[in-house]
């Protein structure tokens, strides 16, 4: 198994890529969820690029930027496993040539202010700005993102469409542990007892989805009951339509949750069918 080529600059990237390009952006500390995105992306283009960059502008002061796990050598092995051609691992200078306070950035609009955005007001500006830069540097035809970060996927799709970036954005289902916990680079910070408790987040979403036919109020009540039973107070537990607008009875909906369990903040979401009125 030959490993991917590691490149750090736009020039190195340009020299190494050929034909159509698929991009999987990541912050490293790769797990099976990331590998699934890579395997999904592999047949979509001739060259498969994975970017590994812990993006400072999507972390607010006091968040875990410094403590975010960095496991580059193991990451290269995971990329080799999935048939990745190129790992783009830029420095902060390559990504932010005019510094972190450069004057131009991408405004995520109103959907960037709800859910995660209400908790982390600068987060999606940082995410969309770095993804736009990665699209500019890598020049992908297609880019693959996980449904695990559902609001992020929604906003990146909107950005690509509204800013006419010419990149097809593809979403991939969430990869989970046996008890339903969504895989995440931050799960490694869960202590053993917290890890057990963390399974309740997905259990709550499943309970909510199972009540879909009874309508939105029942969905939220069923999910909240499971969280309460485990002593988990969510930052938010909200029901939306698939585009993060108001849910519509009789249609598909999304139930989204974020909760801190021990040190990490965990996110999850589930699709469900809402009963009609």
Which residues are catalytically annotated?
34
Task: Please tell me the count of residues contacting ligand AMP according to CB under 6 A.
Answer: 17
Q: Is 105 annotated as a binding residue?
A: no
Least distance from ligand AMP to the Cβ atom of residue 124, Å: 13
Least distance from ligand AMP to the Cβ atom of residue 140, Å: 13
Using the contact rule CB under 6 A, the part of the chain among 8-16, 30-38, 40-48, 266-274 near ligand AMP is 30-38
CB 174 within 8 A of CB 268: yes
> What does the alpha-carbon distance between residue 171 and residue 147 come to, in Å, rounded to a whole number?
6
Using the contact rule CB under 6 A, the part of the chain among 32-40, 73-81, 187-195, 220-228 near ligand AMP is 32-40
Report the site for ligand AMP in 123-162 (rule: CB under 6 A). 145-146, 148-149
Near ligand AMP by CB under 6 A: residue from 26, 51, 57, 129? 26
The residue (of 27 and 89) whose beta carbon lies closer to ligand AMP is 27
Alpha helices in the chain (DSSP H): 10-16, 32-41, 72-81, 92-95, 116-119, 123-138, 150-162, 192-210, 216-229
Q: Is 32 annotated as a binding residue?
A: yes
CB 45 within 8 A of CB 93: no
Least distance from ligand AMP to the Cβ atom of residue 18, Å: 24
The four Cα atoms 161, 239, 233, 153 give a dihedral, to 10 degrees, of -20
Cα-based distances in Å from 69 to 57, 120, 151, 262: 17, 20, 23, 17
Least distance from ligand AMP to the Cβ atom of residue 174, Å: 4
CA nearest 226: which of 184, 254, 257?
A: 257
The residue (of 25 and 247) whose beta carbon lies closer to ligand AMP is 25
The residue (of 154 and 185) whose beta carbon lies closer to ligand AMP is 185
Residue in the shown chain whose Cβ atom is closest to ligand AMP? 146
Near ligand AMP by CB under 6 A: residue from 27, 92, 94, 218? 27
Work out whether 183 is an interface residue with ligand AMP (CB under 6 A): yes
The four Cα atoms 265, 271, 272, 277 give a dihedral, to 10 degrees, of 90
The three-class DSSP label of residue 172 is: strand
CB 216 within 8 A of CB 254: no
Work out whether 185 is an interface residue with ligand AMP (CB under 6 A): yes
Work out whether 182 is an interface residue with ligand AMP (CB under 6 A): yes
Q: Is 3 annotated as a binding residue?
A: no
Secondary structure of 81-107 in the HEC alphabet?
A: HCCCCEEECCCHHHHCCCCCCCCCCCC
Least distance from ligand AMP to the Cβ atom of residue 22, Å: 13
Near ligand AMP by CB under 6 A: residue from 34, 120, 133, 157? 34
CB 273 within 8 A of CB 210: no
CB 121 within 8 A of CB 61: no
Q: Is 152 annotated as a binding residue?
A: yes
Residues that bind ligand AMP (CB under 6 A): 26-27, 33-34, 36-37, 145-146, 148-149, 172, 174-175, 182-185
């Amino acid at each position: 198994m030959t490993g991917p080529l590691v490149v750090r600059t736009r020039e190195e990237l340009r020299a190494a890529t050929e034909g159509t390009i698929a991009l999987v952006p990541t912050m490293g500390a790769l797990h099976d969820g990331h590998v699934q995105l890579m395997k999904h992306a592999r047949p979509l283009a001739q060259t498969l690029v994975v970017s590994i960059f812990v993006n400072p502008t999507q972390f607010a002061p006091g968040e875990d930027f410094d403590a975010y796990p960095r496991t580059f050598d193991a990451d290269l092995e995971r990329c080799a496993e999935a048939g990745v051609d190129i790992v783009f691992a830029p420095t902060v200078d390559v990504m932010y040539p005019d510094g972190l306070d450069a004057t131009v950035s991408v405004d995520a609009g109103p959907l960037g202010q709800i859910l995660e955005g209400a908790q982390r007001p600068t987060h999606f500006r940082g995410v969309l700005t770095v993804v736009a830069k990665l699209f500019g540097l890598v020049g992908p035809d297609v880019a693959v993102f996980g449904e695990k970060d559902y609001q992020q996927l929604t906003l990146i799709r909107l950005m690509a469409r509204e800013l006419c970036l010419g990149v097809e954005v593809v979403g991939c289902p969430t990869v989970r542990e046996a008890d339903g916990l969504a895989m995440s680079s931050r799960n490694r910070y869960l202590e053993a007892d917290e890890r057990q408790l963390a399974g309740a987040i997905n259990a709550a979403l499943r309970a909510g989805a199972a009540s879909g036919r009874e309508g939105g109020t029942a969905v939220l009540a069923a999910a909240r009951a499971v969280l309460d039973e485990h002593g988990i107070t969510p930052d938010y537990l909200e029901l939306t339509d698939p585009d993060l607008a108001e849910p519509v009875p009789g249609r598909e909906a999304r139930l989204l949750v974020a909760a801190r369990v021990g040190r990490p903040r965990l996110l999850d979401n589930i699709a469900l069918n809402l009963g009609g009125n």
